[in-house]
Amino acid sequence: MQDFSTHTLSDAVEIEKKLREFLIGSDKIVLQYMESIASQHGKRLRPKLVMIFARLFGDYHYKNSLSAACMSELFHTATLVHDDVIDTADFRRGHETISNKYGNEIAVIVGDYLLAIVLDRIARMRDFTLFDMFVRTSKKLSIGVLVEIGNRNNFSLDVDRYLNVIKLKTAVLFELCSSMGAYLGGADTDEQIIAGNYGREFGMAFQITDDLLDIAADPAKTGKPVFNDLKEGRITLPLIYAMSRDPSIEELMTRWQSSPDDETTTALRRRLFELGSVDYSKGKAEEYIKRARDEFGKLGEGIKAGPLRDDLGLIESRMFELLDERT
């Protein structure tokens, strides 16, 4: 299997070191919670995007770029800790959530502490442009969560409103990472916008795929049970499409919510496949990946080729790996 370039592999190692340094350097009173966070992580897509785009444009300060990459991950982790409180989630990525392990009060404070680490690191860089990027993204993410909560168990949610929710709650953070990387790499304003557009379109594809994995992937590999989104009242694209094809499936969904036994789970999954929800949603995610690639194609010739572009291609294609095992 093809692997990332030497630069990206090296960056991944340094990201882990720096993240652990940030977390384990925390105040003693929160250290046990930081240890818990440090021991579990995902694919580090966001910091990888920061570093790839910083390197693509070439005129970057490695230490500052690495710090910004780690800040993007801590920023993301803080939102997840808070999300787990809102969703009353027991597990994330196969590990017990902070809120489930220590309680909601501790989790809220831990999330706030992570945000404080981010603000502290930005302050040390003395970069108000970077600070403004994080603040604007934070506002959008907050609005996204509010809109998502407002649409909990809204079975009349349509595709356009769903796409707006995932843009605000997920895609804007990927937009921040790619545009921030470009900025730190010396890109001009137009190039930063193009890089941000790439990240946003990629983020849309990422969230649609993640929502689809909730239905189509092996729970042992995704780290969450089947229909976890439906359990928490999130009406995602596969469900929206299914209801547009067969409105009566709403009854099966609500029945599953009240009694999620194996028989109902099997029946609902089978019906979603029969109605073409999985194929439709995967196709929509692939459309957004194409749009991301089209945005990237607007960059200069000296940027569009080489091992770093290949790394982005790997990230794009690997998004579908768990899905392709089951579809």
Residue whose structure tokens are 């970069």: 127
| pLDDT tens figures, 231-242 | 999 999 999 999
Helix (H, G, I), strand (E, B) or coil at 188: coil
**Considering only CA atoms, which of 69, 67, 82 is closest in space to residue 114?**
82
- Which domains are delineated in the chain? 6-324 (1.10.600.10)
* DSSP letter, residue 181: H
pLDDT beneath 70, residues of the chain: 1-2, 219-224, 322-327
pTM to 2 decimal places: 0.94
pLDDT at 327: 44
* Residue of 159, 148, 140, 152 whose CA lies nearest to 288: 159
At residue 91, the pLDDT reads 79
Cβ atoms of 282 and 320 within 8 Å: the answer is: yes
In DSSP terms, 96 is beta-bridged to 91
Handedness of CA 319, 321, 325, 327 (dihedral sign): positive
Q: What is the pLDDT of residue 1?
A: 52
Structure tokens at 292: 């991301």
pLDDT score at 35? 84
